[in-house]
Amino acid sequence: MSKIKSRSEIGDILYHLIRDPLGLIGLVIVMLIFASALFASWIVPYDPIALNIPDRMQGPSWAHLLGTDQLGRDTFSRVIMGGRVALQVALPTIIGAMTIGIFLGMVAGYGPKWLDNLIVLLFDTVRSFPTVMFALAVVALVGPSLNTVILVIMVTSVPTYGRVVRTLTQSIKSSEFIMAEKALGASTPRILAVHILPNVLGPLAVLAAMDIPTIVGLEAGLSFLGMGVRPPTPSWGSLLNDGYSLIRNTPWLIIAGGIPLILTTLGFTFLGEALRDVVDPKLRGRGGDK
């Protein structure tokens, strides 16, 4: 008699993540990043934007774990709050880009050829602009703000998700179970929502996990150039900017701004690689559970 699995789908994913050392490391790092962003207001020991000129440019100490900047602001507090800003950019961007990309990708993959060509042309047009240059141009026109950064990165990310969904939809729509649904009189919206959508969400989750560090890095780059979030809002990019201009006097600033970006990249990359192995059992090298 075959073994009956009692684990839920989410439990099965967590089970495989925990068994994978890199997946476990990535999961722990990502959970710490989300926890620090969620509870940032309770974690920070000081107001991250409060000026304290007498304590300016102090080195790391028990009073200021990562020292202070040129205005006396506590660097540790700004790093923690900067993580919240990074996720405030990354999560709405990913959700918005995935939502629009799923809709356009399924319409292109399942719809008539002329509509497919039109949507692919739209994707190619958007992707023809270098992301950084497009972001700089838009921010220069409308001014730097958190919403502007989110909108620009979301628009440039839609083609990536749309193309993946289009390819998956085209491969699924010729499957036998889709043909059977059509023969039974199922409507196009039902086929897309009930049968195609669940089959594209797995690969998109992996892609989203891989894209979050890219989006966080792009936001940090724009803030480093002074075209991201407005000062005095704490951002890892503005920390790097301050550290770069004062690197001879306060090297801890650039270290404090760089380490979170490195950890975010490693955490989400490890998690994404492990999720990819779960989504595609062939990549596990274990042959699946018996």
pLDDT (0 to 100) of residue 289: 43
pLDDT (0 to 100) of residue 5: 41
pLDDT tens, 31-51? 999 999 899 889 999 988 888
| Four-point Cα dihedral 174, 188, 209, 81, nearest 10 | 170
pLDDT (0 to 100) of residue 32: 93
pLDDT (0 to 100) of residue 202: 81
pLDDT (0 to 100) of residue 117: 92
pLDDT (0 to 100) of residue 10: 67
Q: Do the domain assignments include residue 289? A: no
Q: Do the domain assignments include residue 229? A: yes
Average pLDDT over residues 67-85: 89
Q: Is the pLDDT of residue 95 over 90?
A: yes
pLDDT (0 to 100) of residue 287: 39
Comparing 46 with 176, the larger pLDDT belongs to 46
pLDDT tens, 96-105? 999 999 999 9
- 16-20, 54-58, 284-288: least confidently modelled range: 284-288
Q: Do the domain assignments include residue 107? A: yes
This model's pTM is above 0.85: no
Through-space distance between the first and last CA atoms of the chain, rounded to whole angstroms:
11
Q: Do the domain assignments include residue 6? A: no
pLDDT (0 to 100) of residue 33: 92
Comparing 288 with 259, the larger pLDDT belongs to 259
Residue 195 domain boundaries: 11-283
Q: Do the domain assignments include residue 279? A: yes
Peptide bond into 92 cis (omega under 30): no
pLDDT tens, 125-145? 888 888 778 877 887 788 777
DSSP for the chain?
Answer: -PPPP---HHHHHHHHHHHSHHHHHHHHHHHHHHHHHHTHHHH-SS-TT---GGGTTPPS-SSSTT-B-TT--BHHHHHHHHHHHHHHHHHHHHHHHHHHHHHHHHHHHHS-HHHHHHHHHHHHHHHTS-HHHHHHHHHHHH---HHHHHHHHHHHHHHHHHHHHHHHHHHHTTSHHHHHHHHTT--HHHIIIIIIHHHHHHHHHHHHHHHHHHHHHHHHHHHHTT-SSPTTS--HHHHHHHHHHTTTT-HHHHHHHHHHHHHHHHHHHHHHHHHHHHHSGGGTSS----
CA distance 49 to 116: 49
- 195-199, 204-208, 286-290: least confidently modelled range: 286-290
Residue 91 in tokens? 């999560």
pLDDT (0 to 100) of residue 280: 64
Question: In whole angstroms, how far apart are CA 234 and each of 175, 196, 220, 239, 241?
Answer: 50, 41, 11, 8, 12
CA distance 188 to 172: 13
> Across the strands, what pairs with 74?
68
Total domains present in the chain: 1
Asked whether the beta carbons of 102 and 204 are under 8 A apart, the reply is yes
CA distance 9 to 98: 21
pLDDT (0 to 100) of residue 80: 93
pLDDT (0 to 100) of residue 194: 82
pLDDT (0 to 100) of residue 283: 46
Q: Do the domain assignments include residue 250? A: yes
Q: Is the pLDDT of residue 218 over 50?
A: yes
Q: Rounded to the nearest 5°, which phi and psi values hold at 34?
A: -65, -40
pLDDT (0 to 100) of residue 8: 61
pLDDT (0 to 100) of residue 67: 85
Q: Do the domain assignments include residue 101? A: yes
Q: Do the domain assignments include residue 4? A: no
pLDDT (0 to 100) of residue 290: 36
Average pLDDT over residues 175-191: 79
CATH code of the domain in which 268 resides: 1.10.3720.10
Q: Is the pLDDT of residue 266 over 50?
A: yes
- Report the chain's mean pLDDT, rounded to a whole number: 83
Residue 112 in tokens? 């008539």
